[in-house]
Structure 1
Amino acid sequence: MPGWDAVILAGGRARRFGGADKPAARVGGRALLEHVAAAASGAARLVVVGPARDVAVDAVRVREDPPGAGPVPALRAGLPEVRAPRVALLAADLPFLRPAHLARLHDALAGSARGAVLVDADGRDQWLAGCWRTAALRTALDAYDGASLRGLLAPLEPARVALPAGDRPPWYDCDTPEALARARALTDPDHH
């Protein structure tokens, strides 16, 4: 597999979390951000976009401007730190993402594909669980003036990767307190 970096988007305002720091929320004894960083452990360089926080992740840290502006400004802040020909673009709240899932995305990035994204059980593209050719992503971002990550990435026509869901699907994101509670229950059945 060619060299790759990872950009983890860990900013945002966490409005549905009442302003709590979602990437620092713990599932199975580790912060969500630590789970995603572990999934991207094969990356040559890890870039985390978001505020400084006390989590055990060795990464280049940058902030989007303005803070909490959304995924496209966050990607604009993180992408200049990428040096490898490929980049994994990941949300910071995916507790069940593993290195094997990223390997499948990289495998799908063969031939002329410019990107590869996970597709959930309902057939929806998961834009913050994908791998991209860095040059294609930079070109698209330079030409894009919108705010929608889908609007930026869908025209790149990524390969769509469907993986078995099981109880802990790799695209499962903790975007509400209820989703976080469910992830904790799936990780630690004794956690209530």
Structure 2
Amino acid sequence: MSARHDACILAGGLARRLGGRDKPGLRVGGRPLIESVAAAVPDAERLIVVGERRPGLARGVFVREDPPGGGPIPALRAGLAEVGAPWVALLAADLPFLSAGHVSALLEAAGAGAGAVLVDDDGREQWLAGVWRTAGLAEALARYEGRSLHGLLAPLSPAKLHLAGRPWFDCDTAEDLHRARSEAPGAGTQA
């Protein structure tokens, strides 16, 4: 059994590199990206979505950052206020290859530490693909005055985990979206 956890999905970005499109609603593998991310946290006690309400996420608790579109730190503040479990999976809304097995591996890797984060093939931390001890994250956030997730999370010294299947891959650009669609199961049937 994995550690008790909630999930906080940040879904309120402006998607500038995708021309302002509704990135969480874009379809990969036959379903919206945000629904794929939500499916990767089936054991989460609460599914908190920072962003607009989505019809395919009936179990979601929807909150908005202040100001809307204000970036990941205000979004994390809004989402973390809804977390009640001892651990929280902090995830981007655009991770088409993330699975429940990846989240379980992150929770296991975190162990007794502050958290665990996925690293990409170049060894770079992917700050919106990790799990964190809720109390430690809340304490760090309360005293943090910066704007970047790196500045907030790196000092917590999370375990770094590289997993097969590129669960950290996100869809920031049209090229990323095309690549994800071509590599997803059922690639020939996508909108």
Distance 1:74 1:56 in 2: 18
Gapped runs of 5+ residues in structure 2? Answer: none
Match of 1:52 in 2: 53
1:5-45, Cα deviation, whole Å (9 max, x unpaired):
00000001111111110000001110000000000111011
TM-score (norm 1): 0.94
> C-alpha displacement at 1:51, in angstroms?
1.6
> C-alpha displacement at 1:59, in angstroms?
0.6
Assess if the C-alpha contact under 8 Å between 1:32 and 1:93 holds in 2.
yes
Assess if the C-alpha contact under 8 Å between 2:77 and 2:141 holds in 1.
yes
1:181 aligns with 2:182: no
> C-alpha displacement at 1:77, in angstroms?
0.5
Distance 1:184 1:163 in 2: 20
Gapped runs of 5+ residues in structure 1? Answer: none
Q: How does 1:21-170 map to 2 (within 5 A)?
A: 21-111=22-112, 113-165=113-165, 169-170=166-167
Assess if the C-alpha contact under 8 Å between 2:65 and 2:77 holds in 1.
yes
Percent same amino acid among aligned pairs? 60
> C-alpha displacement at 1:131, in angstroms?
0.3
> C-alpha displacement at 1:140, in angstroms?
0.3
Q: Which amino acid in structure 2 is aligned with residue 97 of structure 1?
A: L
> C-alpha displacement at 1:109, in angstroms?
1.4
TM-score (norm 2): 0.95
Match of 1:172 in 2: 169
Q: Which amino acid in structure 2 is aligned with residue 116 of structure 1?
A: A
Distance 1:155 1:12 in 2: 24
Distance 2:33 2:47 in 1: 15
1:83-114, Cα deviation, whole Å (9 max, x unpaired):
00000000000010000000100001112x10
Assess if the C-alpha contact under 8 Å between 2:73 and 2:147 holds in 1.
yes
Assess if the C-alpha contact under 8 Å between 1:184 and 1:191 holds in 2.
no
> C-alpha displacement at 1:191, in angstroms?
5.0
Q: Which amino acid in structure 2 is aligned with residue 29 of structure 1?
A: G
DSSP-derived class of the 1:37 partner: helix
Alignment coverage as a number of residue pairs: 188
1:104-150, Cα deviation, whole Å (9 max, x unpaired):
00001112x10100011100001000000000000000000100000
Q: Which amino acid in structure 1 is aligned with residue 67 of structure 2?
A: P
Assess if the C-alpha contact under 8 Å between 1:23 and 1:32 holds in 2.
yes
> C-alpha displacement at 1:57, in angstroms?
4.5
1:14 aligns with 2:26: no
